[in-house]
Structure 1
Amino acid sequence: MPIGELFLGAFLQVLFDRLASPQLLNLARREGIDKLLKKWEKRLKKIDRLLDDAEDKQLTGNAEVESWLEDLRNLAYDIDDLLDEFATKSAENESKAEPGCSTARSLLPSCCFKMSPRAFMFDREMRFKIEEMDQRLKGIITLKDGLNLKENGGQRSAHGRLDTTSLPEACFVSRVDEKREILKLLTAEESAYLKVIPIVGMGGVGKTALAQQVYNDARVTKCFDVKAWACVSDVFDLLAVTKKILETVPGHLSCEGKGLNWLQEKLKEHLAGKKFLVVLDDIWNENYNNWTILLKPFQCGAKGSKIVITTRNFRVAEIARAPPYTLKVLPGKACLTLFALHALGVENFDQHPDLEEYGLKIVEKCQGLPLAVKTLAGLLSFKVSRQEWEDVLNSKIWDPQEGSNDILPALKLSYLHLPSNLRRCFAYCSIFPKDYEIERDELIHWWIAEGLLGGKEGKNRWNTGLKFFNELVSRSLLQKSSSSESLFLMHDLVNDLAKSVAGATHFSSGELEGDQTNASFARHASFIPTDYIAPERFKIYRRMGGLRSFISLRKQSGDDERSCLSQEVLCDLLLALKHLRVLSLSYYYISEVPDCIGRLRHLRHLNLSYTDIETLPMSIAALSNLEWLVLRGCDRLIKLPEGMEKLINLRFLDITDTPKLGAIPHIGNLEGLEMLSNFVVGTENGSGLKELKNLNNLREELCISDLHMVQEAKDANDACLHTKEGLCRLTMRWTEDFAGFRNEELEAKVLDFLRPHRNLENLVIFYYGGLQFPSWLGSPSHVNIVCLRLHGCRRAEALPSLGQLSSLKELYIEGLNAVVRVGPDFYGSNSPFPSLVTLEFKDMPLWEDWIVPS
């Protein structure tokens, strides 16, 4: 079932945010096109109100509407690209203006300035593109008028969601342990008057079937005075839900025309003093106030009363303030039994052994979802022809774009209940192939680079992305992988749902190789490399001229073997993809990056981790929109090119595990930098410690290397580490060579001046050469330090008063060769180390005496 136009509606919100941006409106006003952009916004908002009706017509096979929606989707992306290009070029022209002119110019019309021939060409080119977009939008408006589409105020329907009943499934398979555990919760003696038991799991996993089984169990019936079942479904209507419950309890009252107050009073009368069980099936409500109002009549029951809720959303369980019971997918053997029951009316294939192989393969595709198993088995009900079973196995029913089964509609509600910003993020996940382990932090970076998290900046964007990711997990659309805490998976049918939502705009590697019909519509694409990348592998991608993301994923084998990619092939690809915002090419034998990368003016995220590059081309400095530069594990990287300070939008520079990389000149000009994994101290102009002074947005982790290169202690003071309140983890590293000259006095002053902010939680000091540690290291003001490591500080003669660090849990002291005695100064008070869990001393050859306070 195609539901991609719901995603289109979500993407239009991105355009509305951009068109309403004050920065863009100021630029548009300067160029005299602000009224035109306002007109675009008005027209697009009117179209947005027609999308639901357009989708309904598309579902009935209206080819004209389908074509219109396709044109609208492509136009929306092209307008967004145009606005980004407009903002980028205007910002570049602004930066080239003479100092002091930018403010004045913003107050005057563009006609007051003499334009250079280059600027005039830019103006003419942009105006041509704007006129082209305007004509396309007018054409879409004209076509819309002939489609008889109706406005609906932006309401999205669930397309025929059916109520469930309390009657149990005739063919209920397995779930013996789960049923026993729920029965135990229901029949246990309770001191509380009311207990809520949430059963949580993804759509189609069998939550309702399990609830029906326990609801009708004789032990439950015996345990409760009153039972009631209500299917809540996607619309949480307090009046309707209360009415449903009241109608199922004894008394058979007529509830027609009654208000909520009357209904709740009557329900309270029926439940007063009775031990009751109420099942609320398929709850989506996330409003705490609605939940508390619903519970009012239930407060008068007898002790041990229970409410069972089934939901796909862990957030619902949180609102109910009850620990969730998570229902997992059905084991493969149980799925095969369930399939046989619905297809053949028996529990096995003994009478039809020739069909078992097909049954196994069909069940494998259902990935443990009982609803999917029953739906597919229903298509083969009492059909015993091998050809018919083979036809189902090989049918387009498995294609989420063309299938007419009930698998995706059952999951569609999960998508319909996502806010528009979450819909965009979920659709982006369609670039991942099935069974691919998704790295959380990486995905959030891509969301940010694609502008899917709104207009928030800095740490707020990261926190928003983390919140969105956790929301998708809580709604059972993403699941934790068993292999790592940071890796996540999508169930195969959820992956199908994402692909159905995204349609041709998102391309997953290997799924359409060779079929280039819809390649030009793709905006986001993944690629799974082989050992050697032949030019033919990229042929389909070169047809994706509007592509925004090109992401090379890890090989499915899970190894870190690199792939061979020639510079010529890479350059041909980059020249074809001029609208890229995300380019990720990690684990490649790439020794040189083509100069043409500087043409990717929309680029926000560039990942060249674990490649063989020694430097980057000078053209990198032209990427004025670049926010993320990831060079992790580039062990041959020697230097970054001149002009890096021009990347004024750079927020994230990951140069972890780049041992040969020297100092980066003038990095202090990048005042927006939030992540700098390693700062290498240099001696040349613009590479000293004082470059850290203005980097007050740094957060999370920072390593300062080659501190022995500091020439003046004043530079350390100018670094102003005490103002970097976002830093949680800090590493300071001197050279481990103590054979050469080491200025003990200078190093002591440097470390003293490098006093961090009190928010610091983790501190590591390597190979410090001073004789004493600074007083701040043991100061109670650094109350937040949880982990401290002193390593290889061979000349330090005494330990600081670390007992004063009240939050310190882990302390590692290694290679302090000159320490002879550990005494009272180390503890510092009568109640030292109140939080310490781990204390490790290692490689202390001169240590003779340890005085422990009594």
Structure 2
Amino acid sequence: MNLLFFLYQSVIAFESLLPSDLHSPLTMAESFIFNVAQSLIGKLTSPAYKAATQLIGVYDDLQDFKHTLSYVKAVLLDAEQKQEQNHALREWLKQIKRVFSDAEIVLDELECEILRKQVVKAYGTTKHKVGRFFSSSNSLVFRYKMSKKLEEIRKRLDLVAADRNKFGLERIDADRRVVHRREMTYSHVVESNAIGRDFDKEKIIKLLLQENPHISVIPIVGIGGMGKTTLAKLVYNDQRITESFPLKMWICVSDDFDFNQLLIKIIMCTSEGDLASSYSPVGQQNVKDLDVQQLQHTLRKKIAGKKFLLILDDVWNDDRVKWLELRDLLEMMGSNKSKILVTTRSPTIASMMGTVSSYNLEGLSLKNSLSLFVRWAFKEGEEKKYPKLMNIAREIVKKCSGVPLAIRTLGSSLFSKHKIDEWEHVRDNEIWKLSQKENDILPVLKLSYDQMPSYLKHCFAMFSLFPKDYVFISATVSSLWGALGLLPSSVENKSLEDIANQYLLELMSKSFLQDFIDFGAGYCFKIHDLMHDLAIYVAKDQCVCVNFNVQNMPENVQHLSFLVKHMPDKSHIPESATLRTILFPVHEIGVDEAFLNTSVLKHKYLYMLDLSNSTYETLPWFIHKLKHLRFLDLQYNRKVKRLPDSICMLQCLQTFLLVGCTELEVLPRGLEKLISLRRLEITTKQISLPEKEIANLKFLQRLHISFSENLESLFLGIKLPTLKTLIVGKCSNLKFLTIDPKHFPQLEYIHINGCDKLEFPEEYDCGTKDSNMRLKCIWLESLPQLVTLPPWVQSSTNTLHTLIIRGCINFEVFPKWLSSLICLNRLRICDCPKLMSLPNDFHCLTALERLVIVNCPKLCRKCVPGVGEYWPRISHIKEVIIDRPEHFRSAVAMAND
């Protein structure tokens, strides 16, 4: 899967040495049963599905099944939580999972038939001249078969469901479980064990010692195990802090942000300055007897007018109302010179609580990582006796990504072990395969996972199919989750991509994603290496990455990813009816024709098939038998010249990727029959596209056309009313691209790149004054014919927030109506040497917060901060970045003197 590159392999995870809440012999994938039940019920209750199944004649057969399914679903959350201590319950869940898997197949068969009937009604038969009366497509035969299968599924589910009362399960309809987090922390620290945090300590102390008119709240943010608590301890115990703050209080928030309980903890801290040392069962009991008013009165007597430092360690609460209630109370009682230091894993919580920018705690340097590892792996000075082990140690610490707890975990596991093979075992295995104790790195990270809602858990687990350091793009993540049914299909006014983006923002807010960049039309990001290890652990046996180390393939594996080009044995794809995904996420790793025919295409229940970067010359005609496919990636197959027309019989297909197939002579006939298609990406040698067929794709939201060198014109008179994203790139002979606002009412993002001959008439007869578009982001790049902005840009005055113009060597002037773009937030202009001016009313772009001008020499000179001719027009902008050539940097220096 070419645009992004997914991850590695299966699991024999750390079983015997883990505490009971982590080393269950059950695969973590059993935790996803609730999501499967939700997905099945969502499908059965949708109005469209109800109408269609009534038409086919199987609606009544589904009702008893839906009733039992709903009843079972209600106890699944409780069952998932209790399964790890109950072997019989685990087995019960496995039976449920098998029934659900078979039910998914039956409902998919129904969906395929529903879609086939729609195509037949609209376009005639989906097949060429084939008799169908006695085939399984015949309505009477199909209805009979489905009724029998549904009856069998219902009986099996009834039989298994009857056992639910044996386990004393409670009914929980929504995933609102309170998750036990970490043990209580305390303020004591052994400074010699905290290596490499001197710089961070000084930065935090500097913030704490600054004078401010109000109580300051300083958040420290980082993933679990990064050393946030240790850093807070170092600061708390520093002599300068002790002298500056007469009252210091350390509160471990962790499990609950209960207002009353926090008041009690703070009161208990005020006597001795530390909860651990002042703990008194009698005193605490007395405090517990007080009501809220009495607690506030007691606290007022303790801290009234005092300058205090309050540490709130390990905060998970994202309820702003609760936080403001506590903060306002403390501000009212204590000195306004007081400070609050917060540690949290969540950037969102940090932003909510902080009065200053969050302090993002980074990993240790390689040098400090090695020093910390040596402290935990050897007795003092002992490392000098083992130079060979030290060489291995340098390689081991690299896999820890500078996370202190990961370093401590691996170092401690090797303490007093001096055999080279024991050290090599740790070096050569991923962290998730190694033994872990309760406070080691993976159990600590799993606390963050346990706290997530169930729908996010399943989505996060899918990242395990991609390699470390893979750069994800939100559009492809959306296609992946959508194809696997992990996104709700019926959310009003929201597309699957909108919902996926919402999920990604949630994951980012919980520190599961890093290097997160918003590029206007979506996001790109990475997964931290240790979070990647966590994803592999929670998805084990369900998601498997195949490489040379894979030996035993789980029997019911659902998702496979191949990470090596030449497999020693081509039989690595198991004979399994549960297989839903085959991916080749690493660039230049694909399949040959023999492997495709013998090992891939025999899996008729696949949802996702990635055949990118492969070497076959054509696809077999029977590709249409994979009728459950939602996602088909054929990108960068540089040998394929033609595709069978039968590919257009894949009525469930949502994503079809053909970009980079530079030898493809013609697109398959009948594209309009792909009635579920949402994302289409094309490369072809054709002079013109079958635009009328594309226009009939009623759900198409993303269209990408690239490397189509013979293409001469696009969108002459056709309407694409559902299209949200349009990308046109590297079409060197494209001359005409008609963007008519009336024909693209939903378009939000457009990127046009590398079209040397593309002309931009100054006026279109398209009624721009009367027709509004919803464009949010426009990216115009490497377009030598572009002199000014196209007129259709003006039709998005109330929505456009990002405009990028790059490498347009003849771009000379902005139109007079630029200031009408009242929502424009970001403007980037790069490599436009002929652009000399900004409009006189540029200062009217009051929403503009970021302006970047790079390698536009004439314009840059006029925008020099403080002295440039245009500086008064842009000085109101929050962030201005001007690329300043050497010959006028001296002017800036003089102006600043």
- Matching residue's letter, 2:514: Q
Question: Distance between the aligned counterparts of 2:742 and 2:813, measured in 1?
Answer: 20
Where do 1:409-424 residues align within 5 Å? 409-424=443-458
- Matching residue's letter, 2:197: R
Where do 1:519-538 residues align within 5 Å? 520-530=555-565, 536-537=569-570
Aligned position for 1:270: 302
Question: Distance between the aligned counterparts of 2:38 and 2:434, measured in 1?
Answer: 24
Among 802, 806, 816, the alignment partner of 1:803 is 816
Question: Distance between the aligned counterparts of 2:156 and 2:729, measured in 1?
Answer: 52
Kept in 2: contact 1:522–1:546 (CA 8 A): yes
Aligned position for 2:863: none
Indicate how the Cα distance of structure 1 residues 841 and 812 shifts in structure 2: closer, same or farther if over 3 A, else same.
farther
* Bigger shift: residues 193-202 or 298-307: 298-307
SS in 2 for 1:588: coil
Among 328, 340, 352, the alignment partner of 1:307 is 340
Question: Distance between the aligned counterparts of 1:764 and 1:412, measured in 2?
Answer: 43
Indicate how the Cα distance of structure 1 residues 643 and 388 shifts in structure 2: closer, same or farther if over 3 A, else same.
closer
Among 37, 57, 69, the alignment partner of 1:12 is 37
- Matching residue's letter, 1:570: L
| 2:596 equivalent to 1:587 | no
Aligned position for 2:205: 183
Per-residue Cα deviation, 1:527-550 (whole angstroms, up to 9, x for no partner): 1241x567x33x222424322221
Q: CA deviation at 1:707?
A: 9.8
Indicate how the Cα distance of structure 1 residues 261 and 421 shifts in structure 2: closer, same or farther if over 3 A, else same.
farther
Per-residue Cα deviation, 1:223-280 (whole angstroms, up to 9, x for no partner): 1121111111133222222211221112876312223333233223322211111111
Question: Distance between the aligned counterparts of 1:498 and 1:133, measured in 2?
Answer: 32
Aligned position for 2:147: 127
Indicate how the Cα distance of structure 1 residues 57 and 688 shifts in structure 2: closer, same or farther if over 3 A, else same.
closer
- Matching residue's letter, 1:91: L
- Matching residue's letter, 1:408: L
Kept in 1: contact 2:716–2:738 (CA 8 A): yes
SS in 2 for 1:545: coil
Where do 1:15-54 residues align within 5 Å? 15-30=40-55, 33-34=58-59, 37-51=62-76, 54=79
Kept in 2: contact 1:722–1:754 (CA 8 A): no
Aligned position for 1:255: 287
Where do 1:767-778 residues align within 5 Å? 776=791
Kept in 2: contact 1:663–1:682 (CA 8 A): no
Indicate how the Cα distance of structure 1 residues 144 and 635 shifts in structure 2: closer, same or farther if over 3 A, else same.
same
Aligned position for 1:604: 630
CA radius of gyration, larger in:
1
| 2:303 equivalent to 1:279 | no
SS in 1 for 2:541: helix
| 2:454 equivalent to 1:433 | no
Kept in 1: contact 2:548–2:564 (CA 8 A): no
Per-residue Cα deviation, 1:644-684 (whole angstroms, up to 9, x for no partner): 111122222222x6455632252221233222234999999
Aligned position for 1:103: none
Kept in 1: contact 2:430–2:533 (CA 8 A): no
Indicate how the Cα distance of structure 1 residues 240 and 827 shifts in structure 2: closer, same or farther if over 3 A, else same.
closer
Indicate how the Cα distance of structure 1 residues 208 and 216 shifts in structure 2: closer, same or farther if over 3 A, else same.
same
| 2:475 equivalent to 1:451 | no
| 2:645 equivalent to 1:645 | no
User: Scaled by the length of structure 2, what TM-score is found?
Assistant: 0.76
Q: CA deviation at 1:302?
A: 1.4
- Matching residue's letter, 2:532: N
SS in 2 for 1:521: coil
Indicate how the Cα distance of structure 1 residues 596 and 85 shifts in structure 2: closer, same or farther if over 3 A, else same.
same
| 2:165 equivalent to 1:165 | no
| 2:502 equivalent to 1:467 | yes
For structure 2, the residue ranges without an aligned partner over 5 or more in a row are 1-21, 125-132, 273-277, 846-850, 859-869, 871-897
Kept in 1: contact 2:642–2:667 (CA 8 A): yes
Kept in 2: contact 1:355–1:384 (CA 8 A): no
Indicate how the Cα distance of structure 1 residues 802 and 511 shifts in structure 2: closer, same or farther if over 3 A, else same.
same
Q: CA deviation at 1:89?
A: 0.9
Per-residue Cα deviation, 1:59-112 (whole angstroms, up to 9, x for no partner): 34x443333322322332332232222122123224434899xxxxxxxxxxxx
Kept in 2: contact 1:340–1:348 (CA 8 A): no
Root-mean-square deviation (Å): 4.6
Where do 1:562-577 residues align within 5 Å? 562-563=588-589, 565-577=591-603
Indicate how the Cα distance of structure 1 residues 202 and 442 shifts in structure 2: closer, same or farther if over 3 A, else same.
same
Aligned position for 1:197: 218
Per-residue Cα deviation, 1:602-623 (whole angstroms, up to 9, x for no partner): 2222221111222321011111
Question: Distance between the aligned counterparts of 2:515 and 2:495, measured in 1?
Answer: 24
* Bigger shift: residues 367-376 or 29-38: 29-38
| 2:240 equivalent to 1:219 | yes
Aligned position for 2:862: none
- Matching residue's letter, 2:704: S
Between the aligned residues of both structures, percent identity stands at: 29
Kept in 2: contact 1:574–1:597 (CA 8 A): no
Q: CA deviation at 1:55?
A: 4.8
Kept in 2: contact 1:509–1:526 (CA 8 A): yes
Question: Distance between the aligned counterparts of 2:387 and 2:755, measured in 1?
Answer: 72
Where do 1:219-368 residues align within 5 Å? 219-250=240-271, 254-299=286-331, 300-322=333-355, 323-346=357-380, 349-351=383-385, 353=387, 355-357=389-391, 359-360=393-394, 362-368=396-402
SS in 1 for 2:383: coil
Question: Distance between the aligned counterparts of 1:54 and 1:312, measured in 2?
Answer: 28
Among 397, 404, 407, the alignment partner of 1:373 is 407
Aligned position for 2:107: 83
Question: Distance between the aligned counterparts of 1:151 and 1:595, measured in 2?
Answer: 49
Question: Distance between the aligned counterparts of 1:415 and 1:6, measured in 2?
Answer: 12
Where do 1:57-96 residues align within 5 Å? 58-60=83-85, 62-96=86-120
Question: Distance between the aligned counterparts of 1:569 and 1:30, measured in 2?
Answer: 40
Per-residue Cα deviation, 1:358-407 (whole angstroms, up to 9, x for no partner): 655554454433223334444555x3553895597389995559755543
| 2:500 equivalent to 1:480 | no
Indicate how the Cα distance of structure 1 residues 90 and 754 shifts in structure 2: closer, same or farther if over 3 A, else same.
same
User: Scaled by the length of structure 1, what TM-score is found?
Assistant: 0.80
Kept in 2: contact 1:338–1:347 (CA 8 A): no
- Matching residue's letter, 1:472: L
Where do 1:725-804 residues align within 5 Å? 725-729=746-750, 731=752, 736=757, 751-753=764-766, 757=772, 761=778, 776=791, 786=803, 802-804=815-817
Question: Distance between the aligned counterparts of 2:167 and 2:45, measured in 1?
Answer: 29
| 2:141 equivalent to 1:141 | no
Kept in 2: contact 1:7–1:502 (CA 8 A): no
Per-residue Cα deviation, 1:137-164 (whole angstroms, up to 9, x for no partner): 1332244445555656766454573111
Per-residue Cα deviation, 1:382-436 (whole angstroms, up to 9, x for no partner): x355389559738999555975554322112111221222112111112123444
Kept in 2: contact 1:636–1:660 (CA 8 A): no
SS in 1 for 2:32: helix
Where do 1:631-670 residues align within 5 Å? 631-655=658-682, 658=684, 660=686, 662-666=688-692, 667-670=694-697
- Matching residue's letter, 1:554: V
Question: Distance between the aligned counterparts of 2:806 and 2:373, measured in 1?
Answer: 58
- Matching residue's letter, 2:48: Q
Indicate how the Cα distance of structure 1 residues 215 and 291 shifts in structure 2: closer, same or farther if over 3 A, else same.
same
Q: CA deviation at 1:327?
A: 1.2
Among 580, 597, 606, the alignment partner of 1:548 is 580
Aligned position for 1:491: 528
Ranked by relative contact order (alpha carbons within 8 Å, sequence separation 6 or more), the top structure is 2
SS in 2 for 1:589: coil
Question: Distance between the aligned counterparts of 1:69 and 1:778, measured in 2?
Answer: 55
Indicate how the Cα distance of structure 1 residues 810 and 354 shifts in structure 2: closer, same or farther if over 3 A, else same.
closer
Paired residues, number: 786
